[in-house]
Structure 1
Amino acid sequence: MDGPVKKDQRPVNLDLRTVQFPPTAIASILHRVSGVLVFFFLAILLWLLAMSLSSPVGFERAAGIVDNFLVKLILWGLLTALMYHIVGGIRHLIMDLGYWEELESGNASAKVSFIITGLLAIVVGVIVW
């Protein structure tokens, strides 16, 4: 076996902290994460809604729960995740129609979805606080 030595072509470093993800990958991962968050925490929002609509006393109780700073922070995070999931879902629907499928337009649409979500997060923050 005097032939050339075959070099191993597998990646050497698989540390995800050092990998540079493109905006489209980040947008896709965040869309999945926001969907899971919304799925699990939607029950809490529905519970608060049901409590607030049950009676005037229930409304006061729900308002008292939401008046806590930590609860407001969690509520803001959840609503921001919901806004991102909606914006990302609209982006994916547009891509399903055949638009923004190229690398440049996909990256641009991901960045725009981040900006829109940031603006919506500010609006939600003003509403919550």
Structure 2
Amino acid sequence: MKDNRPVNLDISTIKLPITAYASILHRISGVAVFVGIAVLLCLLDSSLQSAESFDSVKSSLTDSFLLKAVVWLVVSGLIYHTTAGVKHLIMDLGIGETLEGGKKGATITLASAAILIVLAGVWIW
């Protein structure tokens, strides 16, 4: 009996549907938001120590490119996770449950999240 299964499966050559990318990004953004909240809570804790520490955190957020990038990444994860969550809530109502509806929903989710993430970047910088 000849075995037709691939011996060495190269995952980078597999073409996933857009719904798979939307789902994978939803999971990644959930983890990023979970970790990012710890960073934001540390900033909040530092800013609440005294008036001087508040001014220090404020100047760090104003001057540090790295800190702005971290905040933008956390906000971006939150934006995408929320957008995808709304898509899931709409699907729970029975809207867009077909294959075509899922593809349209994933496209709308990715496009609207991209626009909102760019706007958040403009707002932060």
1:116-127 equivalences in 2 (<5 Å): 116-127=112-123
1:63-82 equivalences in 2 (<5 Å): 63-66=58-61, 67-82=63-78
CA distance in 2, matches of 1:12, 1:21: 20
CA distance in 1, matches of 2:72, 2:47: 18
**What SS does the corresponding residue of 2:12 show, helix, strand or coil?**
coil
User: Identity percentage over the alignment?
Assistant: 46
CA distance in 1, matches of 2:49, 2:95: 45
- Bigger share in helix: 2
Q: Does 47-56 or 73-82 show the bigger shift?
A: 47-56
Q: Compute the displacement of 1:103 (Å).
A: 0.9
1:55 aligns with 2:50: yes
Q: Which runs of 5+ in 2 are unaligned?
A: none
| Root mean square deviation, CA, Å | 1.7
Q: Compute the displacement of 1:58 (Å).
A: 2.0
- Larger radius of gyration, structure 1 or 2? 1
1:114 aligns with 2:110: yes
Q: Compute the displacement of 1:13 (Å).
A: 5.7
CA distance in 1, matches of 2:96, 2:8: 31
* Alignment-derived partner of residue 99 in structure 1: 95
CA distance in 1, matches of 2:87, 2:49: 37
Q: Compute the displacement of 1:8 (Å).
A: 3.0
Q: Which runs of 5+ in 1 are unaligned?
A: 1-5
Amino acid at match of 2:36: F
1:33-44 equivalences in 2 (<5 Å): 33-44=28-39
Q: Compute the displacement of 1:11 (Å).
A: 4.7
Q: Say how many residue pairs are matched.
A: 124
> Normalization by structure 2: what TM-score?
0.88
* Alignment-derived partner of residue 18 in structure 1: 13
